[in-house]
Structure 1
Amino acid sequence: MEIAPDPELDPAAAGLRPRPRRAARSRMTARERREQLLDVGRALFAERGFQATSVEEIAARADVSKPVVYEHFGGKEGMYAVIVDREVERLTSVLTTALAPTRHPKVIVESAALALLDYIESNTDGFRILVRDSPVAQATGTFSSLIGDVATQVEHLLADQFASRGLSTTSAPMYAQMLVGMIALTGQWWLEARSPDKREVAAHLVNLAWNGLGQLQAGPSLRDR
């Protein structure tokens, strides 16, 4: 005697298709998970800022539980510090390369301006994070402190140029702050404007900086009103 299949045990007997098995999710290594969390945190910090971003939001967007975030970074402060350190290192590297002392001074100004704009274009989220103020950034480095370090490098280059033109080198530190600050603030403006093209912006920066530097007076003073 043939026993009819039970529809509850055999879906095919009831004319139902077997439910497909869900593909097993590939498990990330600890390093891959850490990088994924950093990418997620970087995007959120750039979009919302440090204070407005929560561990819950980071975990939800990364599709992990909150303990995973704490396990890797100890909290959003630890994650933010790592992100800021990476961005500072990346921007320092591109600017240091642009400030090679063997180049002609005008080429150095051109390279520095274009290097910053290149960085902003390719690392927009990172630059947004750097220019934002945060309690955590005070301990790990800020955009202003980075610009100060770059100005110190430029100071030596300007001092050599001043000496070759018979100008006093004591004002080189001040001019270095002016030059680097001008480029940095223009970069912050271009972050949102994105027009004109970065090469045109860099050309205008050099036009102002170089043509101004080319006509420096030994003892500048303001006219009496």
Structure 2
Amino acid sequence: MTAIEQTEAARPRGTRLPRRARRNQLLGAAQEVFVAQGYHAAAMDDIAERAGVSKPVLYQHFPGKLDLYLALLDQHCEALLQAVQTALSSTTDNKLRVAATMDAYFAYVEDEGGAFRLVFESDLTNEASVRERVDKVTLQCAEAISAVIAEDTGLPKEESMLLAVGLGGFSQVVARYWLSSASPVPRDKAVQLLSSLAWRGIAGFPKHSEQGG
């Protein structure tokens, strides 16, 4: 269940919820407000109202707006990393693996909650704690991709990492453009086009087992 769905399920006023359920409810409400308004325009009053709770209840769980934002950011950075790792481990066929990884980025961006905006389009990137988290998940995703590239091609770690950063950045930038432009190209077709482009490049590097000749 997504944070948005948890919010809808837990929103009725006057209901005393277990701490974890209340926290999920507040995170779901905060996501809606932050995605719609951005960090700077959002107010704790807006989030409390959206969640259907008093502001003191909100402050019992999150001491301030930044704490709430960072908790959301941690949640959605982890979701992105897990999606990429799952895609990479979903097959041993590298051509299909490229497509699965591309689709993971597209699915992440297309999610109706708009959480990707907190990670890729935050208006708070000048805040060190936010920048640190975004940089960390970008690095972690690249490292996961890089490990597969290095294993299959035998390329040095540094070279594999450059290719991995390129593939990850390419995927998320194009996925965001696809969504924001309301492209008539269906997601599966978009993924097919882009993975074909990426595969033609990455397939040019021989597999490690073939290099020894």
TM-score interval, normalised by the smaller of the two chains = 0.7 to 0.9
- Kindly indicate whether the alpha-carbon contact (under 8 Å) linking 1:95 and 1:150 is maintained by their aligned counterparts in 2: yes
Identify the residue that residue 175 of structure 1 maps to in structure 2: 163
Q: Any residues of structure 2 matched to 1:58-207 within 5 Å, and which?
A: 58-100=47-89, 103-133=92-122, 134=124, 135=127, 136-139=129-132, 141-142=133-134, 144-163=135-154, 171-195=159-183, 196-207=185-196
- Tell me by how many angstroms 1:28 deviates: 2.4
Candidates 29, 37, 41, aligned match of 2:26: 37
Provide, for residues 78-126 of structure 1, a one-character-per-residue CA deviation record: whole Å limited to 9, x for no partner: 1111111111111211110111286121111110011121222235421
Partners of 2:158 and 2:130 in 1: how far apart? 32
Q: What letter is aligned with 1:76?
A: K
Q: Which amino acid aligns with 1:189?
A: Y
Identity of paired residues, percent? 28
Could you tell me the TM-score, scaled by structure 1's length? 0.74
The number of residue pairs the alignment matches comes to 188
Distance 1:169 1:125, change over 3 A: closer
Return the alpha-carbon distance in structure 1 between the equivalents of residues 166 and 190 of structure 2: 17
- Structure 1 residue 44: deviation in Å? 0.6
Native 8 Å contact 2:48 2:58 kept in 1: yes
Q: For structure 2, list consecutive stretches of 5 or more residues without a partner in the other structure.
A: 1-12, 207-213
Q: For 1:7-26, what aligned pairs fall within 5 Å after superposition? A: 26=14
Q: Which region of structure 1 is more displaced relative to structure 2, 56-65 or 201-210?
A: 56-65
Shift of 1:212: 2.1
Give 1:176 shift: 1.5
Partner of 1:48: 37
Taking structure 2 as the reference length, what is the TM-score of the superposition? 0.78
- Deviation, structure 1 residue 128: 1.3
Is the contact made by 2:32 and 2:113 (CA closer than 8 Å) also made in structure 1? no
Change (3 A) 1:71 1:101: closer
Which letter does structure 1 place at the counterpart of 2:141? V
Q: CA RMSD in A?
A: 2.3
Per-residue CA deviations over 1:152-205 (Å, capped at 9, x if unaligned) read 122122223333xxx777522211211121112112212313421111111111
